[in-house]
Amino acid sequence: VAEPSDLIQLARAARRGDPVAVDRFLETVQPLVVRAVRLVVGSGSAIAEEACQDALLDIVRGLPSLADPERVRAWTMRIAMRRAVRAARGQRLRDRLSGTADQIEGVGDPTAVPERALLVHEAFAALPVRMRAVAVLRLSVGLSEQETADALGCAPGTVKSRLHGARARLQRALDPADPATSSLMPARRPT
Amino acid sequence: MSVNDPVLDDLRDMFAWFEGPATPRPRARRPRAPRRLILVGAIALVLAAASVASADGLGLFDGGTPVSPQVQAQIAASSQGAPPALDPGIEAGTAVTLITIPTEQGTASLVVSRATRASYCDGIAFSWLGDRQGLGCDGPVESGTVPPAIDFGQAVLGILGRSPRFVWGHVQPAQASTVRLDLTDGTQRDIPLTDGFYLTELGAHDQVDRVEALDPSGAVLAAQSESPVGIGIPTTTP
């Protein structure tokens, strides 16, 4: 990924309609967009691939209206997350209705993944979509709290609480017997 | 909360395993029956012009050249197994090539397929076939006659790797005879119509300022001047 200043310069030129800059801008943001969308929607999902491409097209279309090139990374992720969240919700509904995940070949091959990562993946997939988006933007894309908030259209405090919530749920799912996590479980009513 | 945390580290590790390659896979319209890309050595631009094919009886399918079985299968695959919301409604085996142009990277074709119904993308579906493809669906083809309208889209470099750049679209053929591209450098380019469709390659630095549909006398019937960054531009009339 280009240094932010390079990305900002590219965004400025691309916004003006310079086709070479548009090309280079897309090449630069594509890896971020594709990875982030895939992680939120679910790697190996055909719906995720659709969302990746739709997000990239949205970004191309939206370039002329990019208001602040200084915040282009958050802007790009805002577009990507809009597609990702929508696709993830649709994917979850389809999975529930069909009982099967919508998998395609070649992406996220589970046979090569360590067991721990598979467990984390399963637990992550069960998180609410917005929590997944926050986790991806903060931990994979590397956005700041403020940038993540900009990208998801929420307050920085919401970003913090969603990441905290994601962590708590993951810990419960991964180590349910760990006393350290027991306090995170909902309190039981006395019987 | 610090982002340095064993649980979050687990999450980061998982992300690294599952993020996959950084390029989008070709757009597949068969989510439950993955298709394999066939490297056809040619790049085809596919238009499923439902409204045109069914509404105005242009006889597109009488004059076109049938596409290869591989391309036919690729087009048909767009509808096979696709959930209703993603199904462009391709009528298998009906695709014909209307326009073929040479490019630096091989032959590009404009292919039209019959569609069984209005698709989720409002009547026009197109995708690249070959080793890079999948620009999706956009921009309805206007088949009406009043008012005349021209639409166009532009395939943009870099979304799916290096591709030629094209401008393509449709205008009501009974009225228009030529399409004129006004480029931002002040030059103009006239493009012939084939059953109302046009396809041309742009140079690396060409920028389209305006697309016009001209009648045989050279009068402007319809024009579109919105910046064609992206693909699938809505139609307007003068």
Q: What ipTM score was computed for the predicted complex, to two decimals?
A: 0.74
**Do the Cβ atoms of A60 and B20 come within 8 Å?**
no
CA A134/CA B228 separation, integer angstroms? 33
pLDDT of residue B135: 37
Contact A104 B229 (CB under 8 A): no
Residue B61: predicted pLDDT: 62
End-to-end CA distance of chain A: 56
B229 vs A91, which has greater pLDDT?
Answer: A91
Instruction: For A103, list phi and psi in degrees, rounded to 5.
Output: -105, 150
Across the interface, do B22 and A30 touch by the CB < 8 Å criterion?
yes
What lies within 8 Å, CB to CB, of A187 at 6+ separation is: none
B18 contacts chain A (CB < 8 A): yes
Q: Looking at per-residue confidence, does B12 or A17 come out higher?
A: B12
Nearest to B132 by CA among B155, B110, B101: B155
Other CB atoms within 10 Å distance of the CB of residue B199: 20
Q: Do B20 and A107 touch (CB under 8 A)?
A: yes
Which residue has better confidence, B145 or A46?
A46
| Segment A70-87 mean pLDDT | 88
Does B206 contact A at CB distance below 8 Å? yes
| Record: contact A140-B15, CB cut-off 8 A | yes
Assess contact for A10 and A25: CB atoms under 8 A.
yes
Report H helices in A42-155: 46-62, 72-98, 115-125, 129-135, 145-152
* Average pLDDT, rounded, for chain A: 77
The DSSP code for B195 is T
Q: CB-based contact (8 Å) between B207 and chain A?
A: yes
SS3 content of chain A, % helix, strand, coil (to 5): 75, 0, 25
How high is the pLDDT of residue B180?
92
Question: Tokens 């021209």 — which residue?
Answer: B150
Calculate how close chain A gets to B65, using CA atoms only, in Å: 30
Instruction: Please give the Cα distance from B70 to B82 (Å, whole number).
Output: 19
Q: Cα angle vertex B7, ends B6, B8, to 5°?
A: 95
A35 vs B54, higher pLDDT: A35
pLDDT mean by block of 10 residues, chain B; 238 residues: 74 78 47 25 34 42 72 70 58 78 69 60 39 38 52 51 63 80 89 82 78 88 60 29
Residue carrying the six token digits 């631009």: B45
Q: How far apart are CA B85 and CA B4, in angstroms?
A: 41
Among A24-28, A86-90, B66-70, B82-86, the range of highest mean pLDDT: A24-28
The pLDDT, as a whole number, for residue A189 is: 28
- pLDDT higher for A146 or A89? A146
pLDDT tens-place string over residues A92-135: 655 555 545 445 444 455 566 778 888 888 888 888 888 899 99
Residue A7 and residue B179: Cα distance in Å, rounded? 37
Choose among A26, A30, A167: nearest Cβ to B8. Answer: A167
